[in-house]
Structure 1
C-alpha cells in the first residue's frame, strides 16, 4: 500500500495553487514529491520502531504528514467511523501523543484506546507514513473539494 498517487496529485495541485485553501497550499510548500514518495516507501518497508535514516526523507515525511493533516479536511465527504479510527490512532502516534484510558462505560473511547494501544510503540515516522497512506486512500475514495 505504499503507492500514494492520489496524495501526490493533491500535493501537486496545492503547490500549483490550483486547489484548496491558502492554509493547505502553505502546508504543501517546499515538499519534494519524489523525496516524500521515497520516504513513505522506506517507512512502509521498515519495522515498527525503526526510523528513516536519510534526513531529507525524514523532513519530507514530517512535512507530508502536516500536509496530510490539512488536506484530509478537504475531503468531499466525511470518512466513516472505521476510517476515522485509523486516522486518529496514527495521528496520535505520529505526534507522540498519548490517549487517556477511558471510563469503563465509554465504549467508543475504549475502542479507540484499544486501537491506539496496538500501535503506540510505532515510531513517529512509521505512523506518519501510515497516516499519509490512509489519507491517500480517502482521497481516492471520496475526492477533495477545491476550497
Structure 2
C-alpha cells in the first residue's frame, strides 16, 4: 500500500466515525474534491503530486474531527503533523511542507509558498465547482485559476 492510500484509509476512518450523514458526505465530497483538484494543479505547476494530495486530504482534518471550523487551519496543521508522524509516511521536510500549506490555506488573500498557494487554489476550485455562486472573498483567486487553466472568465 502506498503512502497516499495509507492516508486515505486514515481519512476514511475519521469520516466514517461522523454520525451526521450530511456532514460526513460533505467531508468526503470536500476532502476528496480538493485532493483531486490538487493533483490536477500539481501536474500543471510541476509540484509534488503526492505532497499536494496529502495536504489536501488533511487540510480540514480539524473540522471533521471536531465538528467546528474555528481556527481550523492552525489547529489542523498541528493535528496533521501528529497524524503524519504517527503513520510514518513522510519525511520531516515533507511534513513541514504539508503542514505549512494547511496552516496557510485559510489566508486566501495573502500569498505564500507554492504548496500553500496550490492548496488554497484547490480549495477554492472545489468550493466553486460545488457551489457555482463564487463568494466575493474567493472571486479574484477563482478567476485567476480559470485563466491559468485556459477556461473563460
- Whether the TM-score (by the shorter chain) exceeds 0.5 is no
With structure 1 as the length reference, what TM-score do the two structures score? 0.37
* Bigger Rg, structure 1 or 2: 1
Name the structure where helix makes up a greater proportion of residues.
2
With structure 2 as the length reference, what TM-score do the two structures score? 0.36
